[in-house]
Amino acid sequence: MTTIRRSIRNYVFRLVLLALLGILSALAQQITGSVTGSVLDTSGAAVVGAKVTLTNIGTSETQTAASDNSGNFRFLLLPPGTYTIECSLTEFKTFRREGIIVEADRSLAVPVTLSLDEASQTVKVVGGTPLLEPNNSEVGTTVDSQKVLDLPLNARDPMGLANLAPTVKGVGYFGGEILTSWRIGSINIGGGQALRSAFLMDGVPNDKMGDASGPNPFLTTDSTGEFKVITNGMSAEYGRTTGGVISVISKSGTNDYHGTAFDYLQNTALNADDFFSNKAGQKLAPVHQNQFGAAAGGHIAKNRVFFFANFEGFDQHVSHSAILASPTALQKGGIFLRPRFRILPAKS
């Protein structure tokens, strides 16, 4: 009996260990970003031992690091969001840069220059040259949550915006209404075949197995934090695909409470009849469609525990009208009318 219990404990321990390793691997590779940089003085020499603090604006989470012997620092495994960086050292003015946008699978280099301090001062960088990605050779397009909300979408499917990325072409129903996962639709990325593209959700493979390539399940507009379309030069972690990669990050809560609610309505009173039905004197076929939902996010314990929830529903009752040509009484008796055109002899 003891041997059996020990075997069960070992089996459970191995399962938990494998699950943790899988989660850590996903976090490290697909759904986080990083910030690196070098601390230099005004002469270009490396500054050793400077305190570098990185703060997430949304959650107020802070991380600290010290510049090494070469003046370098780095912050890894950062959740996507907006950050502020601050660097300080005795006898130097404090350096501060705001509005650093960290995206999934992106490594930013932030240059820091410290000048000698004659009094207690802070050098604040409000705007500057765009930050480079020296640690990454991938070619791709990132669509953040603001673009998902602002850009026009058909049927509230964020995947429709992937068609705006260069070398990307949706095929069939790709980017259409999210009614069921079993929809005919695929996508070509960077000239690759449709069935060779990969889909990730929060770092986990999310490929549909069935009628065609595509994500399964989908994220709605309100629950999408951002997604990135990688078209070329992808790193080895995506080695299982010969096409492109679409990596989607779900939205999470912050210290501020936010919520939305919506209802998109179509019905018979608001729709117009088509030309042929009007000509035939047919009334508009009944149409009743509601696409509704709500989303809410915030904190449970400030600066520590956050939540986000989303629900979306679709209710549709549609009927169709058709105009059919039925045979007349003469045609039923085998007598067909002459054609409405005449064949004229050619003039000599």
Domains and CATH numbers, the chain: 28-125 (2.60.40.1120), 139-250 (2.170.130.10), 258-318 (no CATH)
The mean pLDDT of 141-158, rounded to a whole number, is 84
245: which residues sit within 8 A by CB, 6+ positions away?
140, 189, 197, 198, 199, 200, 228, 229, 230, 234, 238
Q: Following DSSP, what letter does each residue of 170-237 receive, concatenated?
A: EEETTTS--S-S---EEEEETT--GGG-EEEETTEE-B--SSSS-BSS---TTTEEEEEEEEE---GG
Residue 131 predicted with pLDDT over 70: no
Question: Which pLDDT belongs to residue 14?
Answer: 57
Task: For 325-345, write each residue's pLDDT tens digit.
Answer: 777 777 777 777 655 545 455
- pTM of the shown model: 0.67
State the chain's mean pLDDT as an integer: 79
Residue 6 parent element (H or E)? helix 2-29
| Inter-residue contact 182 to 209 (CB < 8 Å) | no
Question: Which pLDDT belongs to residue 29?
Answer: 45
Pair of tokens at residue 15: 């399962």
**Most confidently modeled range among 45-49, 153-157, 210-214, 313-317:** 45-49
Question: Which pLDDT belongs to residue 184?
Answer: 57
Q: Show the 3-state SS of 231-285.
A: EECCCHHHCCCCCCEEEEEECCCCCCCEEEEEEEEEECCCCCCCHHHHHCCCCCC
- 101-105, 228-232, 240-244: least confidently modelled range: 240-244
The answer, yes or no, to whether the previous bond of 80 is cis (omega within 30 of 0) is no
As a residue count, the chain comes to: 348
Cα separation of 277 and 322, whole Å? 8
Confidence band of 260 (pLDDT split at 50, 70, 90):
very high
Confidence band of 95 (pLDDT split at 50, 70, 90):
very high
